[in-house]
Amino acid sequence: MRMRYFMAITVALAALGAQARAQDTTTKPGGLNKIAHNVSGTAKKAGRDTKAELKRASSGAHRALKANGNEAKEDAAAATGIHNPTPGPIDKAARKVTSASKKTGAHAKHAVKKSASKTHDQLAKAGKEAKEDVKKP
């Protein structure tokens, strides 16, 4: 039984060692490409962080709106005494509010994506121009 474990561990370590050696042969960009690579990585990280923060804020707003809508619906149902499972005026109004908030959220999301795309295009263009300027003697 111990021999099986020993052999399994040996095979696993050999596979990991071979994989690690294969990764050492890759080269990283140097010089101007290294600078561009670092700038690109930093911009990507900033974009991802911004996107994550927007998603958190959006999710929080969605949860708050949903909780408030459900509470308002329950209060209205308790006040009127109407607990109808079919769509009534309260449900229809709630759907309109939800639809409007979804459209607003989609427009905001599209605006963020468009500005990110424009920023990316400008950064890429500036980077290419800087690279060409450096290459010229």
Per the domain annotation, does 35 fall within a domain?
Answer: yes
Instruction: Let me know: does 121 contact 33? Beta carbons within 8 Å.
Output: no
Per the domain annotation, does 8 fall within a domain?
Answer: no
pTM of the model: 0.42
| Pairwise CA distance, residues 63 & 5, whole Å | 50
User: Which residue range is the domain that position 99 belongs to?
Assistant: 29-135
Per the domain annotation, does 23 fall within a domain?
Answer: no
| 3 state SS for 26-44 | CCCCCCHHHHHHHHHHHHH
Per the domain annotation, does 119 fall within a domain?
Answer: yes
Q: Which of 62, 61, 85 is nearest to 73 (CA)?
A: 85
- Burial label for 101, CB within 10 Å (0-12, 13-18, 19+), is middle
| Pairwise CA distance, residues 119 & 131, whole Å | 18
Distance (Å) of CA 130 to CA 32, 34, 36, 37:
10, 14, 10, 14
Per the domain annotation, does 56 fall within a domain?
Answer: yes
Q: Minimum mean pLDDT among 26-30, 78-82, 126-130: which range?
A: 26-30
- Please tell me the total count of domains within the chain: 1
Per the domain annotation, does 10 fall within a domain?
Answer: no
Other CB atoms within a 10 A radius of the CB of residue 132 amount to 9
Per the domain annotation, does 51 fall within a domain?
Answer: yes
The pLDDT, as a whole number, for residue 108 is 86
Other CB atoms within a 10 A radius of the CB of residue 94 amount to 18
Overall average pLDDT of the 122-132 stretch = 85
- 4-55 pLDDT per residue, tens: 655 566 656 665 555 555 444 555 656 777 887 888 888 888 888 888 888 8
The pLDDT, as a whole number, for residue 7 is 58
The pLDDT, as a whole number, for residue 12 is 61
Tokens representing residue 84 in the block: 């109808």
- 92-122 pLDDT per residue, tens: 877 888 888 888 888 888 888 888 888 888 8
Per the domain annotation, does 20 fall within a domain?
Answer: no
The pLDDT, as a whole number, for residue 24 is 46
The pLDDT, as a whole number, for residue 132 is 83
